[in-house]
Amino acid sequence: MDELLLIEAVERYLKDEMSAQEKTFFEEIRKNNPAVDQMVVEHTFLFNELEKQSNVKAYKHSLYEVESKLAEEGLISKSQLKGKAKVVFLWRKYKKNIAVAASIAVLVSLVTTGLIITYNNKVGNTAVTDLIGKIKNTEIEVGKIKDSLKANKIIRETPKPDFRATGFLIDGKGYLVTNAHVVNRMKTIYVENNKGEYFTAVSIYTDPEADLAVLKITDTAFKTMINLPYSIKKTNAELGEQIFTLGYPRNEIVYGQGYVSAKSGNEGDSTAYQLSVSVNPGNSGGPVLNKNGEIIGIITSKNSVADGVVFAAKSKNIFKLLDAVKKDSDTLNIKLPANTTLKGLEREQQVKKMEEFVFMVVGN
Amino acid sequence: MSNYQQENESLRGLAANDRDVIEAIYRDNYPMIQAFILNNSGNSDEARDIFQEAMIVLYEKATLEGFELNCQLKTFIYSVCRRLWLKRLQQLQRYSSLVENVEDMVPVEEDIEHEKHNSDFLLMETAMNKIGEPCKSLLDAYYIQKKNMQEIAGEFGYTNADNAKTQKYKCLLRLKKLFFAQYKNGQ
């Protein structure tokens, strides 16, 4: 008997889809032919294993969801630094080593900064392009038509954007992160979600060094969004880690995937990663996530000469950025999402869950 | 005892992947386990890991036919977590004598069994990862995500469900070969 036919038969037999006649026939063959019987046993085992795998996966996903819900409530403590006593102990133990290491580090950093400065002066930065997109006139027309369609809803000034980039929410109250080079070129800023709704936004802080900016949606039409599905990673991503990104190189949200190809960015910039992923102008400011749905970086630029060499600011910079924002003004209370609910999900579902939190940033 | 009956009832809910039951078990037991791990040179991330592992052991028990709890669920979970944590500490060589805060315990040597199950699960996962596309996505869509054949045919661009089905069985045979090759190696 053909194995292909047999495996089909076994599946139908196990699912109880056979007619009574077929069933007797099948059992007859099984009884008379030990080789067939052996195969039936193997196939049954395989199907059971597959079924088990499916169930365990679904169960694990439930565990993750319950866990993050309870962490939100505070029943489960979030990761935290260990007690003071331990730190003091470690400090005493390693005081000498730290002193030596620190002085070496200072020396090395002085030398490298010197080198980088001289090197930079010679080479210049022409090989790297910012990934902010210029919007063609036709697309502006499309935007206009789209808006005039919506005009009967709310009459408002139609944005006529010149530049396009990407940003993502870090707090459902309307705080987004995008690139500083994006914001610097825009006088008025709008953000548009995946449903095509425009909101006005202002830049409340920029850090040109890390090339990051924080935007606040000021539009009264914007409703606070809850349950940001992703979290922001405090530690570094690993070399070779699989990543994916969402962004707006076109008027529609675009998915891209790749991997971390180096732990430092352009010319050894340790606050950035080098990624291998396909991105285009407009992807600037887009989130880079790992398979667990943790944001590990923000797309900033790509090498215009070499193909597939993309740079992304590390997610750590977001925390630094927020510290600076808080110093600037005490009244702002930005709360970063602490847990990812994307862990253990298939990629399509991860994207579906998070796409409404990724915005197109446009302006002129 | 009616208490055990109730707990066995909730285990059946767990086996059926009932979110409310999972949540209730977390609520009732997590704080105890977290305190235990924190008191024994662990941190909160490790507590989460261990508890999750224990929940998977519990799931495997609950899905076994005829499994009945013969002690309190709390005791069972504590014992499993304790064992898992001891093992983890030994691996990390952080072992020091444990601080105990719950008196009664049940022996859970069976968690060796859990490891075997776990590795079966891994075998299937590695076999799945080895078969390559489009087989992987196809089998995943049908057997793991439980989509129907019509839907899959559309998604993968097969002209009809029958073609997709034939392809699926071819993939299944490849999976079988890979799976059993590993299975025999493992034994």
The average confidence (pLDDT) of chain B is: 79
Same domain, A346 and A230: yes
For residue B30, give the nearest of A7, A76, A80 by CB distance: A76
Q: Between residues A201 and B1, which one has the greater pLDDT?
A: A201
* From B19, B63, B145, residue closest to A62, measured CB to CB: B19
Question: Residue B106 — very low, low, confident or very high, per pLDDT cuts 50/70/90?
Answer: low
A-B contacts (CB, under 8 Å)? 93
* A1 touches B: beta carbon within 8 Å: no
Per-residue pLDDT tens, chain A, 364 aa: give them: 477 778 888 888 877 788 888 888 888 888 888 888 888 888 888 888 888 888 888 888 888 888 888 887 777 776 554 455 556 556 666 777 788 888 888 888 888 888 777 766 555 455 677 777 777 666 666 666 666 665 554 444 445 677 889 999 998 889 999 998 888 888 888 899 888 888 889 888 888 888 899 999 988 888 888 888 999 998 899 999 999 999 998 888 999 999 999 998 888 888 899 999 988 888 989 999 999 899 999 999 888 777 778 999 999 998 888 888 888 776 677 888 888 888 888 888 899 989 999 999 988 7
Would you state the pLDDT for residue A247? 93
pLDDT of amino acid B141 = 84
Identify which of B27, B43, B124 has the shortest CB distance to residue A82. B43
Contact assignment for B166 to A67 by CB distance below 8 Å: no
Residues in B lying within 8 Å of A, measured between beta carbons: 17, 19, 22-23, 26-27, 30-31, 34, 43-45, 47-48, 52, 55-56, 59, 63, 120-121, 123-125, 128, 139-140, 143-146, 165-166, 169-170, 172-173, 175-176, 179-180
Q: Which residues contact A218 (CB under 8 A, 6 or more apart)?
A: A174, A199, A200, A201, A202
Q: Does residue A364 sit within a domain?
A: no
Q: Kindly list the residues from chain A whose CB atom is less than 8 angstroms away from the CB atom of residue B179.
A: 46, 49
Q: Shortest Cα distance from A151 to chain B (angstroms)?
A: 37
Say if A76 falls within a structural domain: no
Helices (H), A74-215: 84-123, 137-150, 180-184
Residue B111: is its pLDDT beyond 60? no
- pLDDT score, position A82: 46
For residue range B70-104, list pLDDT tens digits in order.
788 888 899 889 888 888 888 776 555 555 554 55
Res B176: pLDDT: 84
Please indicate, yes or no, whether residues A255 and A322 belong to a single structural domain of this protein. Answer: yes
The reply to whether A151 and A197 lie within a common domain is yes
Residue numbers in A near B16 (CB within 8 A): none
Q: Let me know whether A190 and A308 are in one domain.
A: no
What digits encode the pLDDT tens for the residues A127-143?
Answer: 677 777 777 666 666 66
For residue A67, being part of any structural domain is answered with no
Comparing alpha-carbon positions, the chain B residue that sits nearest to A64 is B52
The DSSP call for residue A34 is H
Compute chain B's Rg from CA coordinates. 21
Last residue of a domain, one of A194, A217, A240: A217
Mapping DSSP onto H, E and C, the string for B8-21 reads HHHHHHHHCCCHHH
Are A234 and A341 members of one domain?
yes
Asked whether residue A154 is assigned to any structural domain, the reply reads yes
Give the model's pLDDT for residue B118: 57
- Tokens linked to B100: 């105990």
Residues A235 and A206 occupy one common structural domain: no
In a domain, A291, yes or no: yes
CATH number, domain containing residue A209: 2.40.10.10
C-alpha distances in Å from residue B47, one per residue of B28, B51, B116: 15, 6, 23
Do A54 and B144 count as a contact with CB atoms less than 8 A apart? yes
Single out the residue in A98, A123, A148 at which a domain terminates. A123
Tens digit of each residue's pLDDT (9 = 90 or more) over B168-179: 888 888 888 888
* One domain for residues A249 and A191: no
Does A361 reside within a domain? no
Say whether both A146 and A100 belong to one domain: no
Inter-chain CB proximity B179 and A54 less than 8 Å: no
User: How many domains, in total, are found in chain A?
Assistant: 4
Query: What letter represents residue A149's amino acid?
Result: L
A352: tokens are 């579906």
d(CA A46, CA A3): 14
* Chain A: closest CA distance from residue B176 (Å): 7
**Band of the pLDDT at B134, cuts 50, 70, 90?**
confident
| A13 and A40 housed in the same domain | yes
Q: DSSP class of residue B144?
A: I
A339 found inside a domain? yes
With CA atoms as reference, report the closest residue to A55 among B15, B19, B23, B11.
B15
Interfacial A residues in 76-95 facing B (CB < 8 Å): 76-80, 82
Q: Which residues of B touch A7 (CB under 8 A)?
A: 169, 172-173, 176
pLDDT tens by residue, A311-352: 999 999 988 888 888 887 766 778 888 888 888 888 888 999
Instruction: Give the model's pLDDT for residue A93.
Output: 62
Contacts of A79 in chain B (CB under 8 A): 43-45
A66 found inside a domain: no
Q: Are residues A269 and A297 in the same domain?
A: yes
Q: Identify which of A7, A51, A56 has the shortest CB distance to residue B169.
A: A7
Mark which of A91, A123, A155 sits at the end of a domain.
Answer: A123
Cβ-Cβ contacts under 8 Å, A53 against chain B: 121, 124-125, 128, 143-144
Class of residue A155 by CB neighbours under 10 A (exposed 0-12, middle 13-18, buried 19+): exposed
Considering the domain architecture, whether residues A140 and A178 belong to the same structural domain is answered as yes
Dist CA A354 CA A345 (whole Å): 12
The answer to whether B47 contacts A4, with C-beta atoms less than 8 Å apart, is: no
Nearest-by-Cβ selection for A59 from B48, B59, B169: B59
Q: Which domains does chain B have, with CATH numbers?
A: 2-108 (1.10.1740), 112-186 (1.10.10)
Q: Inter-chain contact B23–A66, Cβ cutoff 8 Å? A: yes
Residues in chain A closer than 8 A to B140 (CB atoms): 346
Nearest CA in chain A to B178: A46
Q: Which residue has the higher pLDDT, B115 or B32?
A: B32
Q: Which domain holds residue A24?
A: 1-52
Does residue A254 sit in the same domain as residue A336?
Answer: yes
ipTM above 0.90, yes or no: no
